[in-house]
Chains A and B, each alone.
Chain A
Amino acid sequence: MLKTLLKGGIAAAALWAAAPGAMAQELVIGLRAGPDSIDPHWSTLGSQAEALRHVFDTLVGVDENLQLIPGLATGWEPIDEDTWEFKIREGVQFHNGETLTAHDVKFSIERIPAVTGPMSMTIYTKRVKDVEVIDDNTLHVHTNGTAPSLPNDFIRLFVVPASTGMEAGNEEFNSGEKAIGTGPYEYVSWEPKGDLKLERFDGYWGETPHWQTVIRREIADDAARVAALQSGQVDLINYVPASDYLTMQGNPDLDTFVSDSVYILNIAPSVKDEEPQPITIDGKEVEGNPLQDLRVRKALDLAIDRNTLVRVVLEGLGTPANQLMPEGFFGYSDKLGERQYDLEQAKALMAEAGYPDGFEIDFTCTNNRVPGDAVVCEALAQMWSKLGLKVNAQALNGTVFFPAAAREEYTMTMSAWGTLTGEASYTYGSLTHSKDDELGLGAFNRTGYANAEFDTLFDEGQMTLDEAKRRDLFEQASFIAMEDRALIPTVILQTVWAAEADTLSFTPRTDQETLAYKISPAE
């Protein structure tokens, strides 16, 4: 009965929304992607976390620049080499009236391995050995060895009540039966690729959000999303395509919001003894792998005109990158200067390395994985052709690209990487550390890059609890990998939101999340 009433109410609300401004209590957001499930422990997908953050809270919170802030835990500290203590917030209520305790957190951590899917959430709990409840508001997490970045791992640790039970799965969550969290909104309904409907939770422990009802509508097609905003069907959209950004800026009826993202487009040159796709001169395979020569990698780097990439190719929606993370992230090296564009020097380096007339090389990128990847790919091919290279650029769908990249079939690739935890071990440990299956390092190192000096510094950082010392070690490690051109960063992508002019007040976030409870009507 209640459900039918609710449904009717929402339908009526949807009709109201058609008349602009009539319903200030409802917010309709048009999003490029939505969740895959309502079970918060099913998938690490970004759009999943973003949606479920409305219903469930995480143990550790992050601000709009991905720096840690208190969440359901009010504080945390290491109490010995392999134990972290978390203080659990008091007086927090679940949507079903239960009160949050450390038992719920323990249950949530232990539930993950049992229910998680192919985008496995165990990446956040892999350092956890076991969890010990000290009292209702104190939790000890014992780790496998020293785990200084454990709090960063917990920024997507959603907490569900222990009464959920281990047997509850996807079905119970999608139906709403078990979709019970401590978040600012209660779950109303959702279907795959459809609308996620939310209703304000009045017992929320934090700041009360403005909107009574929120509809998060998945509109995957870029042009369709823009049209939905222009026709007033939605109040706000994310991922405005670069091609529309300039036009929107000139449109007095629309407001745009721009933010740096955590995503950087990186070039990955294979430095193995035998490159996977042959590099040729006049059709004849070159002796050895030219990309092993640092001078060649430097020449490739120097031939990239990052300002043109940003200004023309991305229509202003980017920032030149000089390392794998944006400034301010934990382990960002200040010593790396801005990357230079110097075609003459690049040509000289190529000549010095023994390739005065360049060579022919395959270059493979993702297509439409992040905004701008295909156009940047094309632009790089064009820039390198000025260096005398013949570049066979292909922008492939992720479906083809990722499995082949995992099989290490490409000589040189470009794809996006986002430092989602806001610190260096996540990125450098995966991309530039030498491959070590035992330690789980270098899992996405497809270039064969290995530098003992880098590894030593990084490994030491991984073991150091002292924050200042760890930061210094990571900074040194990043510096080495970047000077080596292990990967060549190109641009930090920016993303755009748009809303009807003067309707919403909204602070964009680096992690791209569009959170209804952080949005309020314009003053």
Chain B
Amino acid sequence: MSDTTLSEGGPVPVPSAPPAETRATRLRHFWDDYRRAPMAVAALGLVVLMLLLSFGAPLVAPQDPYDMAALDYADAFLRPGETGSGGYVHLLGTDNAGRDMLSAILYGLKTSFVIGLSAGALALALGISVGLTAAYFGSRVEALLMRVVDLQLSMPAILLALVLVAVLGQGVAQIVLALVVAQYAYFARTTHGAATAERRKDYIEAARSTPLPTHRVLLRHLLPNVMPPLIVVATVQVASAIALEATLSFLGVGLPLTEPSLGSLISNGFKYIHTDRTWLSIYPGVALMVTVVAINLVGDQVRTVLDPRNSR
């Protein structure tokens, strides 16, 4: 079984950055590497554009879809391109409540960004900490942490969301919390798996025998080597966070229905999938797809650039 080539070819210890290199130059190097892939640059541009549009929605959207008084049922189900009572053209049509779909998608995108990214980031941070700690310390700590993870993996997000909504009412924070709990376990398992393999390797053993502080070994040496699979999982999980939020909205434990997110727009549009009101299901779906694809392309390139073995 033992395979010597494996350890020889194993991960390269990450050299500490030379002190001369400042943050700014490191960033510039990063960017120089990043922009080698034109697709990834385009994707980054798209992500930035969508962030700007969604967070700047009050400035660019023709309507405030969360302002009930601005909506009128006379405008319900307008086709894309029709002009409503507001006197402007509804580029993507309107929904069953007379809400401008373009505005709803922009506002909803913001909510979904906030939910997807904050849940993703929190879950990632928590998952990495738990996974690394467990793998590094081993024994009791590892047993305790990993069984907690098993427990959480078995807990359906819907149950947690129900409890949170019952106790705290509907809201973004509740959804984020439910998603973090549902997803961090995933990251923890992935980190733990990769880190368990790494911790026995020579360079970690070597680092452990030096008087370096634990967190330094964890963050500087162990973490970079477990990052590649984590980034893949993370970029995928942002998408599934948004999808999960859609499912929760659909089950009536998501966000208030007067403030639709991209997820709730999609599940609402799903009701019209057998009808000719295709704009209700297609546009929010396309918005989600484009967002996820762009985030993934960016994620892929970041992973390539950050890869410590990416010798040039």
Contact = CB atoms under 8 A, between A and B. Distances in A.
B138 interface: no
Contacts of A246: 275
Contact of B69 (A308, A378, A385, A395): A385
B275 A397 contact: no
A382 B68 contact: yes
Interface stretch (B121-129, B162-170, B193-201): B162-170
Given A385-B69, A396-B253, A378 B274 contact: no
B251 to A, nearest CB: 6
Interface in B263-296: 270-277
A487 to B, nearest CB: 22
B71 interface: yes
Given A368-B252, A393-B256, A393-B257, A313 B96 contact: yes
Contacts of B166: 399-400, 403-404
Contacts of B96: 312-313, 375
Contact of A397 (B252, B271, B274): B252
A521 to B, nearest CB: 26
A224 to B, nearest CB: 11
Contact of A241 (B76, B169, B256, B271): B271
Contacts, number: 84
A423 to B, nearest CB: 32
A398 B69 CA distance: 28
Interface in A341-389: 366-368, 374-375, 377-379, 381-382, 385-386
Interface residues of B, number: 26
Contacts of B162: 397, 399-400
B258 interface: yes
A394 B272 contact: no
Contacts of A392: 256, 258
Given A379-B73, A391-B68, A226 B274 contact: yes
B275 A313 contact: no
Contact of B275 (A222, A243, A378, A403): A243
A336 interface: no
A378 B252 contact: no
B258 A378 contact: yes
Nearest to A399: B162
A404 B73 CA distance: 31
Interface in A451-472: none
A394 B170 contact: yes
A248 B113 CA distance: 37
B97 interface: yes
Contacts of B275: 243-244, 246-247
B165 A223 contact: no
Contacts of B165: 396-397, 400
Contacts of B76: 312-313
Contacts of B169: 394
Nearest to B275: A247
Given A223-B270, A247-B276, A385-B68, A378 B73 contact: no
A313 B73 contact: yes
A385 B253 CA distance: 24
A395 B267 CA distance: 15
Interface string A259-277: 0000000000000000000
Interface string B75-92: 010000000000000000
A379 B253 contact: no
A481 to B, nearest CB: 29
A223 B258 CA distance: 24
Contacts of B71: 382
Interface in B84-131: 96-97
Contacts of B274: 223, 226-227, 230, 243-244, 247
A386 B69 contact: yes
Contacts of A391: 68
Contacts of A313: 73, 76, 96
Contacts of B257: 367, 374, 377-378, 393-395
A381 B68 contact: yes
Contacts of A385: 68-69
B270 A395 contact: no
A397 B69 contact: no
Nearest to B270: A223
Contacts of A222: 271
Nearest to A247: B275
B268 to A, nearest CB: 9
Contacts of B270: 223
B252 A396 contact: yes
B251 A397 contact: yes
B274 to A, nearest CB: 5
Contacts of A382: 68-69, 71, 73, 97
Contacts of A308: 73
Contacts of B272: 243
Nearest to B171: A394
B272 to A, nearest CB: 5
Nearest to B169: A394
A128 to B, nearest CB: 37
B271 to A, nearest CB: 5
A404 B168 CA distance: 12
Interface in A464-502: none
A378 B274 CA distance: 23
Contact of A396 (B73, B170, B277): B170
A377 to B, nearest CB: 7
Nearest to B164: A400
A312 B256 contact: no
Contacts of A397: 162, 165, 251-253
Given A223-B273, A394-B256, 11 more contacts: A222-B271, A243-B271, A247-B274, A367-B252, A379-B73, A382-B71, A393-B257, A395-B257, A396-B252, A399-B162, A400-B165
15 contacts: A223-B270, A227-B274, A243-B271, A247-B275, A313-B96, A367-B252, A367-B257, A382-B97, A386-B69, A396-B170, A396-B252, A396-B253, A397-B251, A400-B253, A404-B166
9 smallest A-B Cβ distances: which pairs?
Answer: A367-B252, A397-B252, A385-B68, A247-B275, A385-B69, A243-B271, A382-B68, A400-B166, A312-B73
